[in-house]
Chains A and B, each alone.
Chain A
Amino acid sequence: LAKTTQPISMDSYEGQEVNITCSHNNIATNDYITWYQQFPSQGPRFIIQGYKTKVTNEVASLFIPADRKSSTLSLPRVSLSDTAVYYCLVASISGAGSYQLTFGKGTKLSVIP
């Protein structure tokens, strides 16, 4: 299963752009990179997914370089409500042949007023 590494925590002021970088050195050719967000007392929520180059949706952008060994989640102009844990994931085939999301500890983002 592909392993990801990301910072344990980050702080940011309101209104700033936040970039969270994740490394996934052993990503396989068919793997996609996915980011989830989790608020306290809630289940994780899908944010964005990409394969290479840049993907943008209404809440975030995802930058993936050509070698795909890392990715960067970009949150524009964060607000207090963006305080959460952000997980970088690669869906990989398990020993049983199913695609699995392997969660690490994630990055705890704290937005400061």
Chain B
Amino acid sequence: EAGVAQSPRYKIIEKRQSVAFWCNPISGHATLYWYQQILGQGPKLLIQFQNNGVVDDSQLPKDRFSAERLKGVDSTLKIQPAKLEDSAVYLCASSQERGNTDTQYFGPGTRLTVL
């Protein structure tokens, strides 16, 4: 079974530029998550999708971050414009359902450096 795919693996941009990350979840997984992991901390949930609908985006900085999951499969996360504090690893995860016992499978992440 193929895992969660993410691209690019690394990205370096200057502040105020835009950047986009792509995620392809495990086939058949209805729920998709985007996390932000700052160095030395645990992942922080940004947004959660169920199929192509947003379940929870309460922790997404909506003034600069946006995400979509067209057709309920792939997803993109965009930052526009980027700030220095956005430097982090952006992790995508997927799960079959969205219950409290469901296992989340994580991708390798995209490491973003904002200069």
Interface residues, chain A, with chain B CB atoms under 8 Å away: 30-32, 41-46, 49, 87, 91-106
Q: Are A99 and B102 in contact (CB under 8 A)?
A: yes
The smallest C-beta distance from A27 to any residue of chain B, in angstroms, reads: 11
Cβ 8 A contact of B55, one of A87, A92, A98: A98
Given known contacts A31-B100, A87-B42, A105-B42, A43 and B58 CB-to-CB distance under 8 angstroms: no
Looking at B40, B58, B91, B100, the one whose CB has the most chain A CB atoms below 10 A away is B100
Is B106 part of the binding interface, using a Cβ–Cβ cutoff of 8 Å? yes
- Chain B residue with the shortest CB-CB distance to A108: B40
Please classify how large the interface on chain B is, using the bins under 10, 10 to 19, 20 to 34, 35 or more: 20 to 34
Q: Which residues of B contact A41 (CB under 8 A)?
A: 108-109, 111
Residue of chain B at shortest CB distance from A49: B101
Interface of B is mostly: loop
CA distance A30 to B93 in the complex (A): 23
Q: How far is the CA of A105 from the CA of B104 in the complex (A)?
A: 18
Chain B residues with CB below 8 A from A30, complex form: 100
B56–A96 CB distance below 8 A = yes
Contact of B58 among A96, A102, A103, A106 (CB under 8 A): A96
Chain A interface main SS type = loop
In the complex, the answer to whether A43 meets B100 with C-beta atoms within 8 Å is: no
A105 touching B106, Cβ below 8 Å: no
A-B contact pairs, 12 of them (CB 8 A): A30-B100, A32-B101, A41-B109, A43-B106, A44-B91, A44-B104, A46-B103, A46-B104, A49-B101, A99-B100, A101-B45, A105-B40
CB distance from B44 to the nearest CB of A (A): 7
- Inter-chain CA distance A11–B98, complex, in Å, is 35
